[in-house]
Amino acid sequence: MGEDDVGKRTFKEKLLASLAEAELDAAAAGAFVPLDKQALAMEALMSGCPGAFVDFFYLTTPCDGVGDDNPTNEELHARRIEPDRYEQQDEVALESMQFLKDSLVSADMAARRGDIAAVGDAYKSLAKFFAGTDNPNKALFFFVKCLDVASAAGNVAAEIEANANLGSAYEVVGDTAA
Distance between CA atoms of 100 and 79, rounded to whole angstroms? 26
pLDDT for the residue numbered 156: 94
Give pLDDT tens digits along the chain (178 positions): 455 555 677 877 776 677 667 666 666 665 544 568 888 888 888 899 999 999 888 888 765 444 445 667 777 677 677 777 666 655 677 788 899 999 999 999 999 999 999 999 999 999 999 988 877 888 899 999 999 999 999 999 999 999 999 999 888 878 777 5
Burial class (CB in 10 A: 0-12, 13-18, 19+), 57: middle
Taking Cα atoms as reference points, which of 159, 143, 162 lies closest to residue 151? 159
pLDDT for the residue numbered 6: 54
Burial class (CB in 10 A: 0-12, 13-18, 19+), 28: exposed
Q: What is the pTM of this model?
A: 0.67
pLDDT for the residue numbered 132: 86
